[in-house]
Amino acid sequence: MNKQIEVTEENQVVKDRAKQAYKEGFVTDIESFTIPPGLDEETIKLISSKKDEPAWLLDYRLDAFRQWQKMDTPEWAKLKIPAIDFQAISYYSSPNANNENAPKSLDEVDPKLIETYDKLGVPLHERERLAGVAVDVVFDSVSVGTTFKAELKKVGVIFSSFSEAVQDHPELVKKYLGSVVPARDNYFAALNAAVFSDGSFVYIPKGVRCPMELSTYFRINAINTGQFERTLIVAEDDSYVSYLEGCTAPMRDENQLHAAVVELVAMDNAKIKYSTVQNWYPGDEEGNGGIYNFVTKRGNCQGKNSKISWTQVETGSAITWKYPSCILRGDNSSGEFYSVALTNNHQQADTGTKMIHLGKNTKSTVISKGISVGKSQNAYRGLVRVAKKADHARNFTQCDSLLIGKSCAAHTFPYTESANMTAQLEHEATTSKISEDQLNYCLQRGITEEDAISLIVDGFCKEVFKELPMEFAVEAKALLDISLEGAIG
Amino acid sequence: MLKIENVFANAGDKEILKGLSLEVKPGEVHAIMGPNGAGKSTLGNLLAGMPYVQPQGGSVQYMGKDLLSLEPEERAAIGVFLAFQYPVEIPGVNNMYFLRTALNAQRKYRGEDAMDSAQFLRMVKQKIKDMNMRDDLLKRPVNVGFSGGEKKRNEVFQMGVLEPKLAILDETDSGLDIDALKIVADGVNQLRSADRSFIIITHYQRLLDYIEPDFVHVLADGKIVKSGDKNLALELEEQGYGWLNN
């Protein structure tokens, strides 16, 4: 009974939320320190010195930069990527005009920022109501605050901005930085390794079940600025953490670049659940503006019986290029990827996953739901690779595409490579349209066309939504409803 | 309640209804029989406002309103229900959620308060019990993986929850075994009341053994060609439709 009531409330939230357009599209008028556009070794030295970084980290950055200069933009994706002028972007912008080091306490955060996050619905106060979620907020290039740090510290969990982690726990950062996504991994990962400015760091000690959801909220505010954040999560033996990330940006006519790297490490029996609701500004109806989202996310199931689960709901960005992956190194380890990617208007998405089976009895599950509306292009790209020694590896992949309207397209590119005869790989794929019959059926029962579409889409995504934590599931549904606007008529 | 006068309608490019007239008063049960292709389903779809049927002339008055000028969801909200011949599947949407969305959309249109989930749950649990149907019907996604009979039962169950004023059953009996037929007929009989009318489209007399109609009409070549009481259905069962042409 209670569950039913929750569902009603949830619907109300979804409805209220859905009435708004891209409500995150406002600009915060705040004094900031932004370095001039341009990228060379001096830029990198400047970023590093702003952050008082140790020499080894500057060397890491410079090495990555030199690699990057030798690399080319990847062109294999089903995306039309306009040439990006990397010299026209500013690589560092901080809202702390006077004090360049992020404030140590939430009390010191500029009230304008608190207001910004209030408007976005992100709690910077440690209010009772939201006591279940600790948040690190990244505004342009810096983390402006992390909640519940003290409480988490009691159980040994480290949750801080990346910059702070570099100062306070250099040994951990040094050990794991680049251990899952090497600096030279790909063009955008190399760029990130060279210029990353902030992000979140999470360390869960052995045997600890993180007592609350951890979350990072990324916000791009400054004009002509790219955001290059880095997230590193390490879960020691027998630990558990659930981590959420959300992202928004103002509506601007220019495109903005977001190139992030996320690395996860799970030791023996550790479980990491990583959920994303990506709502970067998608551009307007004509395809002007929007974020270019080039992200490398990868988890290393290092230990036996470890598990990494990626859940993503992608509705934003003009271009999405993103393949959260799992390296299943430990025996009996498992990886999961649950994804809803919705594209509308002129948005393009090429997203999917890689499941690399190295250990014995490793298992992976891939559920991908692509929804294309308007003139958008939506591609699933996945790789399942089973190494020679990965006896009895199993994979199940299901990718479903839903088309709404006549001018959009869905594409599926599943790749499998198996070097072991004992592997069991299953793949299912469907493409469907919201049928006239389904719509008519709903209409005949009294449901309006708009509600009918959202009902049908919601049903289509159910398998993924149920993987999201409650608050995020509500937000995700609301986002889909907003993104579906103009899907009919 | 419903007055259809000299209605013409096309399905696709084809003229199907050719001057059909029919009057249904509150509380009456009308059975529509007739050969394949006569336009029986087209009549149901026309009344429900399904876009694949285009009215070409004539008028339909329903409770004092020009029915053909209303959108399908508006017709539903003022009490027109169509039990589909081929109910569609909606994956991932559970039946109960679907029904509550539908009921509250109708209530909203009528200016009534939404039914909260506790009230709704009590109501559907009672209905499912009254209608002798299984609880799991509520939790399953709309019609997904349902057998033919289950789909038809679900239509009747939805009708019970939505409590329409005018219910049109489009061959709800086809493909049902005798037990399922009884459950469906029981459902309809429970809903019979002085202010609720039914149009039952069927090929077979056997449904009418369980749901006793006030009138039986024969629809042939887009028109009602003969009307009578329940005995007409028995005659048709014995003699077929051929004799009507003479």
Q: Rounded to whole angstroms, how far apart are CA atoms A64 and A228?
A: 14
Partner-chain contact B51 A456, CB within 8 Å: no
Q: How many CA atoms lie within 13 A of A461 on its CB side?
A: 29
Q: Which of these ranges, A455-464, B208-217, B219-228, has the smallest mean pLDDT?
A: A455-464
Q: A435, A331, A320: which is closest to A381 by C-alpha?
A: A320
Q: Rounded to whole angstroms, how far apart are CA atoms B85 and A423?
A: 45
Contact list in A for residue B71 (CB cut-off 8 A) is 443
The more confident residue out of A123 and A178 is A178
**List of residues 6+ apart from A175 with CB closer than 8 A:** none
Question: Looking at the complex, does the CB of residue A438 fall below 8 Å from at least one CB of chain B?
Answer: yes
Centroid of chain to Cα A444? 39
Partner-chain contact B98 A455, CB within 8 Å: yes
* Closest CA of chain A from B101, distance in Å: 7
Sequence-ordered alpha helix ranges (H) in B78-177: 95-109, 117-130, 136-139, 148-162
pTM of the predicted protein model: 0.81
Give the phi and the psi of residue B153 in degrees, each rounded to 5. Answer: -60, -40
Q: What percent of chain A is predicted at pLDDT more than 70?
A: 81
For residue A1, give the nearest of B98, B121, B141 by CB distance: B121
Give the phi and the psi of residue B217 in degrees, each rounded to 5. Answer: -120, 145
Indicate if the pLDDT at residue B76 is higher than 80.
Answer: yes
How is residue A308 written in tokens? 């990494």
Indicate if the pLDDT at residue A130 is higher than 50.
Answer: no
The predicted-structure confidence for A428-447, as pLDDT tens digits, reads as follows 888 877 778 899 999 999 99
The predicted-structure confidence for B2-23, as pLDDT tens digits, reads as follows 999 999 999 988 999 999 999 9
On average, the pLDDT of chain B sits at 92
Indicate if the pLDDT at residue A479 is higher than 50.
Answer: yes
Residue showing tokens 């009308």:
B30
The predicted-structure confidence for B23-48, as pLDDT tens digits, reads as follows 999 999 999 999 888 999 999 999 99
The predicted-structure confidence for A282-297, as pLDDT tens digits, reads as follows 777 887 888 889 999 9
**List of residues 6+ apart from A461 with CB closer than 8 A:** A313, A340, A369, A371, A480, B92
Q: In a 10 Å sphere around its CB, with 0-12 CB exposed, 13-18 middle and 19+ buried, how is residue A437 labelled? A: middle
- pLDDT given for residue A285 in this prediction: 80
On average, the pLDDT of chain A sits at 84
Q: A401, A404, A360: which is closest to A382 by C-alpha?
A: A401
Nearest CA in chain B to A438: B88
Indicate if the pLDDT at residue A489 is higher than 60.
Answer: no
The predicted-structure confidence for B165-207, as pLDDT tens digits, reads as follows 999 999 998 888 888 899 889 989 999 999 999 999 998 888 9
Total residue length of chain A = 489
* ipTM attached to this prediction: 0.95
In sequence order, the β-bridge partners of residue A342 are: A371
Indicate if the pLDDT at residue A391 is higher than 90.
Answer: yes
Q: Is the dihedral of CA B100, B102, B106, B109 positive or negative?
A: positive
The predicted-structure confidence for A296-346, as pLDDT tens digits, reads as follows 999 999 999 999 999 998 888 889 999 999 999 999 999 999 999 988 888
The predicted-structure confidence for A233-288, as pLDDT tens digits, reads as follows 999 999 999 998 876 666 666 778 889 999 999 999 999 999 988 887 777 788 78
Q: Which stretch of DSSP H or E encloses residue A473?
A: helix A470-483
For residue A456, give the nearest of B50, B71, B90 by CB distance: B90
